Chain A
Amino acid sequence: MRGANALLGACGLAAFLALGEAVPRLGLVDEEYFPPTSRIADALAGELSDDAFWTALGDTLTGWAIGLVIAVSAGIVAGVLISVTPYLREATASTIEFLRPIPSVALIPLAVLLYGTELRSVLLLVVYASFWQVLVQVMYGVQDVDPVAEETARSYGLGTWARVRHVLWPTALPYVMTGVRLAAAVALILAVTAELVIGAPGLGARIAVAQTSQAVPEMYALVVVTGLLGLLINVGARTVERRALAWHQSVRGEVAV
């Protein structure tokens, strides 16, 4: 069944690539703006042998990773603190509901004013966008703590910190994982956007350069690279999730004792 699915998927992809090759060649679209698959592949090969490409990729991944780490740590710490401190939840709820929907890209002017085209500009946007993803999931997760489990822990004399560690954290972990996965995707989007718009070094800036210098196949090749990055990040996050949550209903199979 899985083999058959994989085969179908491969067929679909092949058909899509073939279409991308055929349509421009048949003159159905302007080849100048929609180069055929083979030319994009050529451009991609060219990119891969260019040191500047790897530097740009490294820059993008650096911004993505640092931003994500900051956002995840801050989101987890803030989420747990807000949830376990009496009244803090009510006190912060409306502020969070106000700040969360602000699109990160709306902060681009602020980022430019503060940091110009430095990495910190990218970080500001990445962190702002991914922080909420994590925070909101953590807060959902904490609400999911079973009162019976909590009372059990209290009756055995577990203090606040021990309960956070042994009850609250494992309960919230599936939510945290979802939050991290969403945040990882959003962080990539924001990293590329920031580079593209602000001109901070990275894949986004390279796409902008390709566009202005009319290197259309290269531009597509870079877009493909960002897509592949997103795919890898999602697959990676899911693998980590499965490993960490082997005990969880959404993952666990029927295992004999």
Chain B
Amino acid sequence: MLDVRGLKKVYEGSGRRVEAVRDLTFTVDAGELVCLVGPSGCGKTTLLKCVGGLLTPTAGEVLIGGRRVTGPPPDMAVVFQEYGRSLFPWMRVRENVELPLKQKKLTAARRRELVADALASVGLMDAAGAYPWQLSGGMQQRVAIARALAYEPRVLLMDEPFAAVDAQTRADLEDLVRGLWRQRGITILFVTHDIDEAVYLGERVLILSSSPTVVQEQLKVDLPADRDQLHTRVAPRFAELRTHVYEQIQAAKRGTPVADRLVKDLTDTPPPQ
């Protein structure tokens, strides 16, 4: 479904040259939920923007459904980290969710249906007539998610979407995303810096190294599909997995992959180095 090959992005300008990502290769299958973790500043947002067609890679390519991405693909939605700035304050919640649908040339009736359905999915039916700035942070992020859902994307990119909400809201939103993913069969690429979140949400976790960025490791999360905040997070397997990811990230920061016992029986693909 999503194919990233040899992706490299170098920012150039104002006398500074930053190699944000060096060489990233991975795939995400249709209907898969993959989490991407990596140290701060390693180029996660850069990667997501390249995948979303918002940035042109310096080298390498991104394919979606076999087609090369050159601009924002029509069947993809992005949920940005800065939800407050991503929603338009001059539009009510309903209009915010509806705006992208107008570009899709859907009938007004169909648009209304999609908007109502998406807002109901995130439990915000009552807030349809409010302005985004009248809502709490968690509610705003749910509006952003609803907007993405209403768009009916086949691929959904989420960039640290819950980084700025409190722990309780965060747990709710995580369950919301997993629930929606299971219901709707969307392909999701979820960026986070939170290891627990990555293991809890993902079917697979991609660990990025620190800059110069490559894929440090791909880890299959063999937890049951039915997950809940109470039991999954205290399961011994969950602890093992999160410990492993943690070690890998520490190693990534030092720049050396750890070849410990877990790698052999946990990874479906060996690290690319």
Residues of chain A whose beta carbon lies under 8 Å from any beta carbon of chain B: 146, 148-149, 151-152, 154-159, 162, 166-167, 170, 173, 247-249, 252, 255-257
CB–CB A158/B134 < 8 A: no
CB–CB B131/A247 < 8 A: yes
At the interface, yes or no: B77 with Cβ under 8 Å from chain A?
yes
CB–CB B90/A248 < 8 A: yes
- The CA of A151 and the CA of B54, in the complex, are separated in Å by 7
- The CA of A116 and the CA of B54, in the complex, are separated in Å by 56
CB–CB B77/A155 < 8 A: yes
At the interface, yes or no: B194 with Cβ under 8 Å from chain A?
no
Q: Choose from A148, A157, A248, A256 the contact partner of B74 (Cβ within 8 Å).
A: A157
Residue of A nearest to B134 (CB): A257
Q: B185 to nearest A CB, angstroms?
A: 21
- The CA of A173 and the CA of B130, in the complex, are separated in Å by 21
Known contacts A151-B80, A155-B53, then 17 further A-B pairs from the complex at CB < 8 Å, ordered by chain A residue? A149-B86, A149-B88, A151-B49, A152-B78, A154-B54, A155-B72, A156-B100, A157-B72, A157-B74, A157-B104, A158-B103, A166-B88, A167-B88, A170-B90, A255-B131, A257-B127, A257-B130
Residue of B nearest to A159 (CB): B103
Q: B70 to nearest A CB, angstroms?
A: 13
Q: A149-B85, A155-B77, A158-B100 are in contact. Are A252 and B72 (CB under 8 A)?
A: no
Q: B46 to nearest A CB, angstroms?
A: 13
Query: For this complex, into which size category does the number of interface residues on chain B fall?
Result: 20 to 34
**In the complex, per-residue mask of B250-269: 1 if CB is within 8 Å of any chain A CB, else 0:** 00000000000000000000
- The CA of A39 and the CA of B130, in the complex, are separated in Å by 56
Q: A155-B52, A248-B90 are in contact. Are A148 and B80 (CB under 8 A)?
A: yes
Task: Please name the 3 residue pairs, one residue from A and one from B, whose CB atoms are nearest each other, closest first.
Answer: A156-B100, A148-B85, A170-B90
Q: A154-B54, A156-B77, A257-B130 are in contact. Are A166 and B99 (CB under 8 A)?
A: yes
- The CA of A252 and the CA of B130, in the complex, are separated in Å by 13
Q: List 28 A-B contacts (CB under 8 A).
A: A148-B80, A148-B85, A148-B86, A149-B86, A151-B49, A151-B54, A152-B80, A154-B54, A155-B52, A155-B54, A155-B72, A155-B76, A155-B77, A155-B78, A156-B100, A157-B72, A157-B104, A158-B100, A158-B103, A162-B103, A170-B88, A173-B90, A247-B131, A247-B133, A248-B89, A249-B89, A252-B131, A257-B134
Q: Which residues of B contact A151 (CB under 8 A)?
A: 49, 54, 78, 80
Q: A155-B54, A156-B72, A167-B88 are in contact. Are A148 and B82 (CB under 8 A)?
A: yes
- The CA of A148 and the CA of B54, in the complex, are separated in Å by 11
- The CA of A217 and the CA of B130, in the complex, are separated in Å by 56
Q: Which residues of A contact B126 (CB under 8 A)?
A: 257
- The CA of A166 and the CA of B52, in the complex, are separated in Å by 21
At the interface, yes or no: B135 with Cβ under 8 Å from chain A?
yes
CB–CB B86/A157 < 8 A: no
Q: Which residues of A contact B162 (CB under 8 A)?
A: none
Q: Which residues of A contact B91 (CB under 8 A)?
A: 170, 247
At the interface, yes or no: B190 with Cβ under 8 Å from chain A?
no
At the interface, yes or no: B151 with Cβ under 8 Å from chain A?
yes
Residue of B nearest to A171 (CB): B90
- The CA of A164 and the CA of B104, in the complex, are separated in Å by 17
Residue of A nearest to B136 (CB): A257
Residue of B nearest to A146 (CB): B85
Q: Which residues of B contact A173 (CB under 8 A)?
A: 90
Q: A118 to nearest B CB, angstroms?
A: 42
Q: Which residues of B contact A158 (CB under 8 A)?
A: 99-100, 103
- The CA of A150 and the CA of B124, in the complex, are separated in Å by 25
Residue of B nearest to A170 (CB): B90
Q: Which residues of A contact B90 (CB under 8 A)?
A: 170, 173, 247-248
Q: A54 to nearest B CB, angstroms?
A: 41
- The CA of A146 and the CA of B82, in the complex, are separated in Å by 11
